[in-house]
Amino acid sequence: MSTAQHTNPNNSPPNEASSDSISDSLEKNELILRHKFQSCYDIVFRKVLIFGHIHVLLVYLDGLVDTRALDTVLLKPWMLEAPRPGLEEISSVDLMLEQQLVSIAKTKTTETMSDVVQSILSANVVILSDGVSNAVIAELKGFEQRAVEEPASETTIRGPREAFTENINVNTSLVRRKIQSTALKMESITVGSLSKTTIVIAYIEGIAKDSIIEEVRKRIRHIQMDTVLDGNFIEEFIEDHPFTLFPQMQSTERPDIVASSLAERRVAVFADGTPFVLILPCSFWSAFQSADDFYERFIYATLIRWLRMLLVITSLFLPSMYVAITTFHSQLLPTNFLLSITSAREGVPFPAVIEAFMMEFLFEGLREAGIRMPRPTGPAVSIVGALVIGQAAVQAGIVSAPMVIVVSLTGIASLITPRYSMGMAFRMLRFPMLIISGMFGLYGITMATIFLLIHLTNLESFGVPYLSPIAPLTKTELKDVLIRAPRWSMHTIPSSGSARNRLRIPKGQQPGGNQGDEAR
């Protein structure tokens, strides 16, 4: 067995290197590849003599190929075993593969050097034979990857305990396990001139709207950039309104959410190298929905959904309402409550709006510090810091105790949003709301709310209104917006802007004594 040889930067390319075609000379092909991979220490060139008379060259990336499988499946049968009777005349590797002399699941041949180079960079083994003007590409990927684990950002009580990984093939297979139908289509597109990142567009044929699928294809194919490392690289290029605070695509690391979204006429976009998948189109109401809503009974899910909506509204308006009422509209408060707040604010040197800004900035800073610090110390620092600094600020007379309570309630309420990106939008909106409330009181809050509703009404996600199905109103789709209706009552699939409604669950499946008697 010959030893592995690494690249030599001193080799110069032959004259035929300018052509993209593979030469029938093994030495010339080797010189071309050594020149292309000059100063790449992790590229391995391995010469092998097969059956005593066939000279081949194996080229692959060290660390990305399963070398154990390469030795046992490919090289051992070629170098240590004698050829079968009648096969002595075979003189090329592609003929051997056609005769099934090696057990490699995925192989293909190519006649261009550019395909050879890209295949090597894609963690494949390229096999070149002397006297043959083509190359065999064998898939023997074997790099380290993270196992399927429990979701870190979208935990559930009763749902599945599996999440996507950084391997796109694993991610698509997790969705395939949940939707075992030939109607599930997955189209691959390569984006990034340097990274060559694989992007997969997944949808269910006959259910997803054709115009949305075509629009997603067109927008992704128009992306021109050097590297794509995450789905956000794609999201910023294909969203409808780039300057709005509200996310127009849903990001998830749960295969069950992707599968259910595909069944509801949506499209999923996978990106290799990230455990998060983009789902589009997206609506405003997805911020109040979590995976647990569909694993718990509909009564519990509806109550929890109402709680989320109430707390999200609280996180947006509570500090500005407190500033507006205590500054401009103190007559709205009961006398005893007003006296309690006034006595607590006695001696505080700042107006209520400055107080609120100071505490909001402090709380947001502690939250970010807790996220960025190491896991063992992050939560302790954020919690202890909030308690110690808040108590010290009250005792020093810098802020009042009611303001600390208001900011604490606001911070807790902002954590209830299942979608992190939507929660970030509400966190950012609190600051302009505070400014307006400090300038114009409740009138300013009312006007800001009207402008916010107008903005949300004008937003679209791939042609679908952002506030649908409430604005515009679609009565048949209200069973999974403000409430979570019983599953047996959701007879049709959401239309996603289409006029058709596909039957999903036939009628007459409501449980009960009468139905049981009829069935008997």
What is the model's pLDDT at position 498?
Answer: 46
10 Å Cβ neighbour count for 453? Answer: 12
Virtual CA dihedral for 77, 81, 85, 88, nearest 10 degrees?
80
Same domain for 415 and 315: yes
State both tokens at 394. Answer: 């009250």
User: Does residue 159 fall inside a structural domain?
Assistant: no
Same domain for 330 and 274: no
> Does the pLDDT value for residue 437 go beyond 90?
yes
Last residue of a domain, which of 225, 252, 282? Answer: 282
**Three-state SS string across 108-129, please?**
EEECEHHHHHHHHHCCCEEEEE
> Does the pLDDT value for residue 489 go beyond 90?
no
Nearest CA-CA partner of 324 in 168, 215, 181, 433: 433
> Does the pLDDT value for residue 28 go beyond 70?
yes
What is the model's pLDDT at position 10?
Answer: 47
Same domain for 200 and 116: no
Domain count, the chain: 3
What is the model's pLDDT at position 86?
Answer: 53
Between 379 and 142, the higher pLDDT residue = 142
Residue 82's pLDDT band (boundaries 50, 70, 90)? low
Q: Which SS3 state, helix, strand or coil, does residue 194 take?
A: coil
User: Rounded distance, CA 9 to CA 15, Å?
Assistant: 17
> Does the pLDDT value for residue 257 go beyond 90?
yes
Same domain for 36 and 112: yes
Phi, psi of 368 (to 5 degrees): -65, -35
Which percentage of the chain shows pLDDT scores above 90?
41
Between 386 and 90, the higher pLDDT residue = 386
User: Rounded distance, CA 480 to CA 501, Å?
Assistant: 15
Q: Which SS3 state, helix, strand or coil, does residue 106 take?
A: coil
What is the model's pLDDT at position 43?
Answer: 92
Which percentage of the chain shows pLDDT scores above 70?
85
Same domain for 444 and 303: yes
Same domain for 322 and 274: no
Q: What is the pLDDT of residues 457-471, one digit of tens each?
A: 999 999 899 998 898
* Radius of gyration of the chain, Cα coordinates, nearest whole angstrom: 31
User: Rounded distance, CA 165 to CA 176, Å?
Assistant: 15
What is the model's pLDDT at position 520?
Answer: 42
Q: What is the pLDDT of residues 188-235, one digit of tens each?
A: 999 998 988 999 999 999 899 999 999 999 999 999 999 998 888 999
Please give the mean pLDDT across all residues of the chain. Answer: 84
Chain-centroid distance of CA 376 in Å reads 26
Mean pLDDT of 77-84: 63
User: Does residue 18 fall inside a structural domain?
Assistant: yes
User: Does residue 350 fall inside a structural domain?
Assistant: yes
User: Rounded distance, CA 78 to CA 71, Å?
Assistant: 10
User: Rounded distance, CA 493 to CA 503, Å?
Assistant: 7
Same domain for 180 and 270: yes
> Does the pLDDT value for residue 282 go beyond 70?
yes
Same domain for 312 and 453: yes
> Does the pLDDT value for residue 19 go beyond 90?
no
Residue 143's pLDDT band (boundaries 50, 70, 90)? confident
> Does the pLDDT value for residue 141 go beyond 80?
yes
Mean pLDDT of 317-336: 92
User: Rounded distance, CA 56 to CA 92, Å?
Assistant: 9
Between 384 and 58, the higher pLDDT residue = 58
What is the model's pLDDT at position 108?
Answer: 82
Mean pLDDT of 107-130: 88
Alpha carbons within 13 angstroms on the beta-carbon side of residue 288 total: 22
Last residue of a domain, which of 117, 138, 159? Answer: 138
Domain of 30? 5-138
Same domain for 410 and 372: yes
What is the model's pLDDT at position 415?
Answer: 85
Same domain for 220 and 121: no
> Does the pLDDT value for residue 61 go beyond 70?
yes
> Does the pLDDT value for residue 183 go beyond 80?
yes
Q: Is the pTM of this model over 0.75?
A: yes
Distance set, CA 19 to CA 26, 28, 56, 111, 390 (Å): 15, 12, 21, 11, 71
User: Does residue 471 fall inside a structural domain?
Assistant: no
Task: Identify the weakest region by mean pLDDT among 299-303, 407-411, 480-484, 510-514.
Answer: 510-514
10 Å Cβ neighbour count for 429? Answer: 18
Same domain for 255 and 176: yes
Residue 144's pLDDT band (boundaries 50, 70, 90)? confident
User: Does residue 156 fall inside a structural domain?
Assistant: no
Q: What is the pLDDT of residues 349-381, one digit of tens each?
A: 899 999 999 888 888 888 887 777 776 666 666
Same domain for 337 and 216: no
What is the model's pLDDT at position 288?
Answer: 86
User: Does residue 252 fall inside a structural domain?
Assistant: yes
First to last CA, the chain: 74
> Does the pLDDT value for residue 382 go beyond 80?
no
What is the model's pLDDT at position 170?
Answer: 92
User: Does residue 513 fall inside a structural domain?
Assistant: no
Mean pLDDT of 91-97: 59
User: Does residue 153 fall inside a structural domain?
Assistant: no
State both tokens at 421. Answer: 């990106």
> Does the pLDDT value for residue 495 go beyond 80?
no
